[in-house]
Amino acid sequence: MELSQRQLDWFAADSARMKLADLDAGVLPRHLAIIMDGNGRWAKKQGKPRLFGHKAGVASVREMIGSCVQLGIAYLTIYSFSSENWSRPKDEVSGIMKLFVEVLSREVVNLNAQNVRVKLIGDVDDLPAGTKDAFAHCVQSTATNTGLTLVVALNYGARQDICQAVRAIANDVADGDLSLEDVQPELISSHLSTAGIPDPDLMIRTSGETRLSNFLLYETAYTELYFTDILWPDFDREALLDALIDYRDRERRYGGL
């Protein structure tokens, strides 16, 4: 892959540049999805509370955004807070919600500087007012950007998303606006919160866990999966290149021979 000066500046380490040169720009994923797992275990290893790990994980998010921008990846979806995460200790959840506000207030300038557009998926109505307002401001402030689309899955659950799509379609059928024959995979996709976003080509999960955890279940029917033992706060731009090299060597057959 021919490297620009900006790419060389971003992937400055010699080892990273060697991996980058080994990539083929033609087989990079258009849409990368990440389950950012391991913040709590990382903090425990440091003898710190779990929230310390969530704060450390922000740097890895920044690494992924910058790397996707430099590589020309069009969509990056991050699983930032699931609908099941509310069951965690109240002080941890409260800390995460406040952390969102802190991070967004300082990162929106960087997102605009990188021409990144932010989009939300999930049920944001249940979020604390401050968190909801911070995300709304970020989405509005980056709405006209034309580079990387950063999709933030916030209070998101795939099963819940599919249920709301089915309810909307059932209402249309009941009202006579749709027939049963109209209910096809494409119609269901158009009613999901990810409507208009291409399905992920590659999904990465960190920390050694090997499950999807209710994330983009409908959209990942033919997504390539990459699991790594690296805890999220340690997942950096070079670790991403390792995942992309692995993806490059996959043969995507979509159920064919």
Which are the catalytic amino acids?
37, 85
d(CA 41, CA 161): 29
Tell me the two tokens of residue 245: 């090299």
User: Residue 248 phi/psi, 5° resolution?
Assistant: -55, -35
Q: How many CA atoms lie within 13 A of 212 on its CB side?
A: 19
Q: Are 83 and 162 in contact (CB under 8 A)?
A: no
CA nearest 62: which of 50, 74, 76, 51? 76
Question: What's the farthest any 2 CA atoms get from each other in the chain?
Answer: 62
Neighbours of 29 (CB within 10 A): 24
d(CA 2, CA 7): 10
- Residue 42 contacts by C-beta under 8 Å, 6 or more apart in sequence? 53, 56, 57, 231, 232, 233, 234
